[in-house]
Structure 1
């Protein structure tokens, strides 16, 4: 699932809950183990003679102590045993068994499959980043450069390869620090740095003008690219596809934006710093979140409309433990400083804006504003979709991209 800065709150809440479950389970089992033998104390009433009665003496009855084995039933020991086993079971298997079983198993063609492979390239950048790039599809097809969401990798485009790769030249890349791309030595995860990386990837298309397609932070990187490389628009770039993205700091264009904006400085940013400082711990908590199913629940809530398959949900939930927490946090800092509002009106190429109709992560209203501000923009809402709408409704999305590229692509060797 692509990650936004405000979702760092969920990182920590899910992680701390997962850690608490993993600790509480063994503690309950220890309580059961320590009490599996029960001591029963019984007072034995001894006969009292006449002299004792005459002197009105109190006689303490002797106590007999015997040990009995614990028995399964309505008692604290049974509750501790069952509770401990349940917490440990949920901690290590809830994601695999509990939540995904509630979803339908899709047809084979509906399940995500990243086994398709194209030509693999490595791009060495001046800051030390080694970018992984994959070229897929016919060399003479209209080129599309695909930029994935934050925390994901190029595998997010597995449906695009299957549905667009027969007639288009797809150029997919992993953002720095994610997937098979290395981390920059200077720890620069600003959107400006990623836009310059995108420019290098665009160069792999040769003379053919490309369509830039971006999801979530991918769209933000594209708009930053438009600001930094305006001369490329209409020459090296023939069109833009911006899917489930925003034009400004995403904290301001999400649901409950007023709350998140208020807590950005006092809560979100300190938690991002803490995530960087405690990255190994956060990664362990993210692994537990995936194993116990809370990552699946969060992904379902934010990214899917309820029509996803088990495979689609698990595919996106797996990004939770995969992403390096320090990398994710630094990229989130970059998004907090992002604003492309003034760039929109100066974009001279056609743009297809694709919001998810029910996206709670980046609201459709942000896409509507982009569509109004970009002169050649078209708004196409994926009705019912959330933040992973291009993944859940992949056939509809691919068809929209296909038609857009057919209408806007420039033949190889020509310039606008």
Structure 2
């Protein structure tokens, strides 16, 4: 494991697999998770790829935000810092996002452009295209907006703290995690891994990142991601609705949809061989279409 320092001094923990001169794949995990949530996927890719995974700020082994900022623009700049660190001059990477990770990828395209990226894969992600109705209440006066955000912040932080206290009630915690991220048939060990990731998250970072994600419309930014994009979607994904998926596919300039009947949200844990195979295919596809060298 190594570190990258982002633009504001926040430390991001990086883990790498595979030969240095192989095509580069960068993995971006979801809310409340960590590099661990990719399961076997990095190892499956490592024989023929240089795989890089990092923990989002405030998650896993990464440091808390130095300035308290967990906004999606800041998350985009973190991904930019990682790409600048791991992609050699004249090369480009395929970036893979799960859940919120897809939102980070489109936010990076919007705020920083598409340099250093040859293609993208969304694995159980709608690009964070859903916001709460009326949120963040842009038509309200500024003091009311600030009060609303503070109220949401306190509620989310309290929820995270309560979640830690029900850690001993594993059946209840697993039921909630399964409802949020898995199909009914998915294995219990995958559910337990996500539960442990989520309940190990720091409440402040989890609450602030949640607040940022629900006030972020990734679908609006998706047209800026003008690289070949593969969207892998499970029909039983409880987090990405059909309407959100349709909006995302319509907004992306160059996208292919792969539908998986009966699959859920955490494809890296439930279908690692399939996901690794599709990422490999997409690396080859981006090189064949001449978007940019992925080596």
Please indicate the TM-score interval, normalised by the length of the shorter structure.
0.7 to 0.9
Aligned-partner Cα distance in 2 for 1:366–1:240: 18
Aligned residue for 2:244, secondary structure, equals helix
- Contact conserved, 2:183 with 2:265, CA < 8 A, in 1? no
Structure 1 vs Structure 2 CA RMSD: 2.6
User: For the Cα contact (< 8 Å) 2:152–2:211, is it kept in 1?
Assistant: no
For the residue of structure 1 that corresponds to 2:57, the secondary structure is: coil
Matched, 1:243 2:123: yes
TM-score (norm 2): 0.86
Contact 2:59 2:201 in 1 (8 A): yes
**Superposed CA offset, 1:26-83 (max 9, x none):** xxxxxxxxxxxxxxxxxxxxxxxxxxxxxxxxxxxxxxxxxxxxxxxxxxxxxxxxxx
Secondary structure in 1 aligned to 2:265? coil
Once the 2 structures are TM-superposed, how far is the Cα of residue 186 of structure 1 from its aligned partner? 1.2
What is the CA–CA distance in structure 2 between the aligned matches of 1:390 and 1:311, rounded to whole Å? 13
Higher share of residues assigned helix: 1
Equivalent residue of 1:250, what SS? Answer: coil
Among residues 201, 224, 227, which one is paired with 2:107 in the alignment?
A: 224
Q: Evaluate the alpha carbon distance shift between residue 182 and residue 245 of structure 1 in structure 2; reply closer, same or farther with a 3 A threshold.
A: same
Unaligned runs of 5+ in 2: 138-146
Q: Does 1:169 align with 2:57?
A: no
Please report the TM-score for the alignment, with normalisation by the length of structure 1. 0.62
Deviation at 1:175, TM superposition (A): 0.4
- Aligned in 2, Cα 1:309/1:188: closer, same or farther, shift over 3 Å? same
Q: How far did residue 287 of structure 1 move?
A: 3.0
Using the alignment, how far apart are the partners of 1:374 and 1:126 within structure 2? 28
Are 2:67 and 1:189 aligned?
no
Contact 1:382 1:389 survives alignment (8 Å)? no
Q: Residues 291 and 169 of structure 1: is their aligned pair in 2 closer, same or farther, counting only changes over 3 Å? A: same
Please list every run of 5 or more consecutive structure 1 residues that lacks an aligned counterpart in the other structure: 1-119, 253-260
Q: Residue 135 of structure 2 contacts residue 215 of structure 2 at CA under 8 Å; is this kept in 1?
A: no
Alignment pair present for 1:209 and 2:80: no
Higher normalized contact order (CA 8 Å, seq sep 6+, divided by chain length): 2
Assess if the C-alpha contact under 8 Å between 1:189 and 1:334 holds in 2. yes
> Is 1:272 the equivalent of 2:150?
no
Q: Confirm whether residue 397 of structure 1 aligns to residue 275 of structure 2.
A: yes
> Over alpha carbons, which structure has the higher Rg?
1
- Structure 2 CA distance for aligned equivalents of residues 399 and 392 of structure 1: 14
Q: Does the residue aligned with 1:331 lie in a helix, a strand or coil? A: helix
